Amino acid sequence: MASVEFEAERGKGKDMKTISENRAYGGVQGVYSHTSEACGCDMTFGLFLPEEAETQPVPVIWYLSGLTCTHENAMVKAGAQKWAAEAGVGIVFPDTSPRGAGVADDPAYDVGQGAGFYVNATEAPWAANFRMWDYVTDELPRILFNAFPVEEARQSIMGHSMGGHGALTIGMSFPGRYRSVSAFAPIAHPTACDWGRKPFAAYLGPDESKWAAYDATLLMRKRGFDGPILIDQGAADPYLDTLMPEKLAEAMMARRQNGAFRMQKGYDHSYFFVSTFIEDHIGFHAAALYD
């Protein structure tokens, strides 16, 4: 794998720093930081590259995490590296929000640092930093494809909870970019639930027409996704009423969306749930990426 320092010498990733690189399943799990123009602060992300990346570019899966998480939660808890290594794909783990002493925050867990919701905030004090949509869809991809051996032409995206919301909305908003989309227990209809209405009002203001671009159920009704979708939802999830998975399932059915929506009996919202089915999701994306 080409190191960040080596790429910097070639004029790529000039301000990027290597926080750590660890051998894992024949590949390398790295953690890197850089100065973000989109978020106006330093940002950290994780990137797993399989052994194949030492000799050739590999497809990449984006994993977006949920409320209160950093880049580290899924990287450490999901167990994705084993299956990514077997499939020969990379996985990038972005952070969930801007961070730092100068970044606006809130005592609540669902607004502020750790709760970026993958939107571009327009309201004070959030607009100065909370531009996670631009960060995940524009800035970080440019950095990634310039500095590491990953293929821009072969990308997929997935996420958990708030990150599932992000993966679905981003996937549907960029036709042709992602080969497949999957989600674990996504916030499926945020314009109609407390986990969406409160942060959307804070970040985007009171005009609810501006919220629709960030609602997976509304986007599914309007345009759908131009590839396969896989959704896993725990049937014992304590947040089912808030997540509103039935609304997304209804929209997928009405649109005849290519995909599967699975209710997993006895499973909750935790990373025990995610790690149980991560093999299925990596395999699902690998099939699309190597199609």
Active-site residue list: 161, 237, 269
Task: Please tell me the distance from the alpha carbon of residue 170 to that of residue 161, in angstroms, as a whole number.
Answer: 14
Can you spell out the DSSP letters for 232-273? EEETT-TTHHHH-HHHHHHHHHHHT-SEEEEEETT--SSHHH
Contact 43, 34 (CB under 8 A): yes
Residue 259 is which amino acid?
A: G
* 151 class by beta-carbon count within 10 Å (0-12 exposed, 13-18 middle, 19+ buried): middle
Task: Please tell me the distance from the alpha carbon of residue 21 to that of residue 215, in angstroms, as a whole number.
Answer: 36
Task: Please tell me the distance from the alpha carbon of residue 71 to that of residue 31, in angstroms, as a whole number.
Answer: 9
Residue 91 is which amino acid?
A: I
Dihedral (CA of 51, 52, 55, 59) sign: negative
Q: In the 8-state DSSP scheme, what is residue 112? A: B
Q: What is the dihedral of CA 159, 164, 167, 169, to 10 degrees?
A: 180
Task: Please tell me the distance from the alpha carbon of residue 63 to that of residue 79, in angstroms, as a whole number.
Answer: 12
Backbone angles phi, psi at 91, to 5 degrees: -135, 130
* 240 class by beta-carbon count within 10 Å (0-12 exposed, 13-18 middle, 19+ buried): middle
Strand order across the 58-64 sheet: 17-24, 27-36, 41-49, 90-94, 58-64, 150-160, 178-184, 229-234, 259-264
